[in-house]
Structure 1
Amino acid sequence: MEAEGLDWLLVPLHQLVSWGAAGAMVFGGVVPYIPQYRDIRRTQNAEGFSTYVCLVLLVANILRILFWFGRHFESPLLWQSVVMILTMFLMLKLCTDVRVAGELHVKRRFFAAADNKDEEVKFPPRRSYLDFDPHYFWHWSSFGDYVQCVLAFTGVAGYVTYLSIDSALFVETLGFLAVLTEAMLGVPQLYRNYRHQSTEGMSIKMVLMWTSGDTFKTAYFLLNGAPLQFSVCGLLQVLVDLAILGQAYVFARHPQKPVPHVAHPASAKAL
């Protein structure tokens, strides 16, 4: 009788907790990028953040949305993908603007030093994804190039999915590729840190939030019976996050001289 009498309280409370968990699932993934976004805007330097993180997340979430058409999963996971795609575009817009502004500033100083009487300002060559230059892949001069590239990928992947949507093997493979790609989220940042032997410019708050968020997300997958691919790759993602935190700890205790920047196309990529 007492349990039945408490139903008026327990049922709304359970519903409130469910809504809270769903809201955290949808918007929690973007929270780690807030401190990194603010750091880049404050310092006007995007070198410490690997924009390949944005590439990984864009591909992963586009594939996840396409997977939904073949096998419906919980709506919060679908909306999380939409919100994450918009967030990654915001990060790319900021990083591109900051990088291009920095290149223009360096060019102006170079020509001013070469000839103080020369008032002509020469701009860096425009780099587009249509140039198909592997040295500048994902390091283009305009935010519009990133948008066009993502739209082209979405169109091709969407067309292939439309043709193969009736194949259970294709749908399951698509879901696995989506979560496996997302599990590799931290790998570009891990490689960038290793290459420069430094985590300078990387927001530790961002990585800590990655770790806590991925742990929560993996637990959410396990408790709500999400597809097995989601749970396995969630665990892998947590391991990568912990590896990045380990790098930060090691480099903080044993600082090394950063690798000097060389003005070469292959080294210009923000890894």
Structure 2
Amino acid sequence: MYLHKRVIETIGEEAGSVPGAVSDAAPTPSAPATVSDTLSAYLPRVDQFYIPEWLTMQFIANNLISFTPLFSYGSTVISIERCQTALGFSIDICATMLIASVLRISYYLITPYEITLLRQSVVMVLIQLVLLRTSLRYRPEEYKYGNLKQVESLRELVWEIWQEFFDVTGEGHSHGHAHGHLHKQPSAFALLRTLSFKRAALLCYKIGLAFVYKFLKFFDPGYQRVWAFWQWSDDRTFWRFLGVFTSLQLLLTFLISKVLDWEELAQWLGSVIGSLGLLVESLLPLPQIAILYTLKSVQGFKLILLVSWLCGDTLKITYLVFGAKNISVLFFLFAFFQMSLDFYIAGQYIYYKFYYPKLRNQGGFRDADIEIELTDIVRDQIMEPVQSQEGSVDMAPVRSTHSAGHNSARASPPVMTVAQSL
């Protein structure tokens, strides 16, 4: 009987009959339609006819990652164009991101990774080229190479440290002439053998600090660099360097990985390129730290840029921890090092934005009372007096780092050109 009724109802619906045509069939009781039933019946139509199938959360996330540089660095371009000055922005950021992005693109030729990250690298190169052109157009005179301060050469620093531990001032030569014979200065190896283990360790420690000092000064835009790197007066030199570097890097990688098909060399080159790219990118905040310290202001530095750096660090570390496999420990070290520098810039931003102006307005305030530059701390450690083996303090070679004209007062090493910079 039930099957007979269903057949009659189906025929009636197909023939367009009204419910009265099947008067012999008892009406089937049905629950009243609710709002949720109506919405559930309507939403599939919305998904089908109004939301494209390709518009997924994965698609949105991939494009956000790829085109984030357009928002973070694009706002800096607009700010520089509006103010018509690049004061407060370090063009070394452009160098860092361009070199790191080119290395990342060449790494893709050896070890392909997600296309989203490759697209992000290409977008980064494009926006950094625009940012570099804008920054060079409005580059202040203070950033030109001729107006930058000179920094001690590595040879000078090592010679000063050497003088602290050994008597190589030439007094032995004059004393020998007075007695009619000449005493030869002992060799460096012979001098080192006269040191105790403690003083030898201290010598190595101070020489290591000299390298750290030179390394930090290289990333300080306020000081002249070796070969005036990225401080050239002619803007065309920037573009020539980028063209030569990009061409050689991509050509070498393509030849080794695709033409020669040398698998072992390609894998080794890929590891070097990947590590070098992360190292260069991790050093991104150093020039901006130096600029903010010099200016004592956040002028020209956009907050959205800092936020994008911190978000990028978070995404990078999250990917290394949860998404990547067989990752070297160097990747983690570089990522955490960059994040620590970004947090340091965040502290600088808060301090110079909100607290420093109030402190300047207070009476008796001096910058030197509360601020010490990191490179000054390192150099003070280098020039700290050394205890002699008898317990006395050798004060002769020690000079104040903050005194005026300390470069000219430094003793010149023999058989070395003092003005020569490494």
**TM-score, structure 1 as length reference:** 0.69
Larger RCO, structures 1/2 (Cα 8 Å, 6+ apart): 1
SS, match of residue 254 in structure 1:
helix
User: Shift in Å at residue 30 of structure 1?
Assistant: 3.1
User: Equivalent of 2:344, from 228, 243, 258?
Assistant: 243
Distance in 1 of aligned mates of 2:66 and 2:304: 20
Aligned counterpart, 1:208 = 307
Aligned counterpart, 2:244 = 152
- 5 Å-filtered alignment, 1:12-91, equals 16-91=56-131
- Between the aligned residues of both structures, percent identity stands at 26
- 5 Å-filtered alignment, 1:189-208, equals 189-208=288-307
Which range moved further: 63-72 or 26-35? Answer: 26-35
User: Shift in Å at residue 205 of structure 1?
Assistant: 2.6
Amino acid at match of 1:237: Q
SS, match of residue 32 in structure 1:
helix
Count, aligned residues: 221
Distance in 2 of aligned mates of 1:227 and 1:199: 40
**Structure 1 runs of 4+ with >6 Å offset:** 12-15, 100-103
SS, match of residue 45 in structure 1:
coil
Contact 1:36 1:203 in 2 (8 A): yes
Say if 2:134 is the partner of 1:94: yes
SS, match of residue 228 in structure 1:
coil
Gaps of 5+ in 1: 1-5, 104-132, 259-271
Aligned counterpart, 2:8 = none
Contact 2:87 2:140 in 1 (8 A): no
SS, match of residue 89 in structure 2:
coil
Distance in 2 of aligned mates of 1:13 and 1:238: 37
User: Shift in Å at residue 163 of structure 1?
Assistant: 5.3
Q: 1:56 to 1:226 in 2, by over 3 A?
A: farther
Say if 2:274 is the partner of 1:175: yes
Contact 2:99 2:280 in 1 (8 A): yes
Contact 1:31 1:209 in 2 (8 A): no
Aligned counterpart, 2:231 = 139
Contact 1:92 1:143 in 2 (8 A): no
Distance in 1 of aligned mates of 2:325 and 2:77: 31
Distance in 2 of aligned mates of 1:29 and 1:226: 26
Q: 1:14 to 1:236 in 2, by over 3 A?
A: farther
**TM-score, structure 2 as length reference:** 0.46
Distance in 2 of aligned mates of 1:238 and 1:73: 23
User: Shift in Å at residue 161 of structure 1?
Assistant: 2.7
Contact 1:25 1:76 in 2 (8 A): yes
Q: 1:218 to 1:25 in 2, by over 3 A?
A: farther
Amino acid at match of 2:355: R
User: Shift in Å at residue 240 of structure 1?
Assistant: 2.0
User: Equivalent of 1:254, from 356, 359, 369?
Assistant: 356
Residues 205-253 of structure 1: CA deviation (Å, up to 9, x unaligned): 3212321233234434544327736962444333222110111122231
Residues 111-170 of structure 1: CA deviation (Å, up to 9, x unaligned): xxxxxxxxxxxxxxxxxxxxxx95643234555432221111112223443455432222
Amino acid at match of 1:37: V
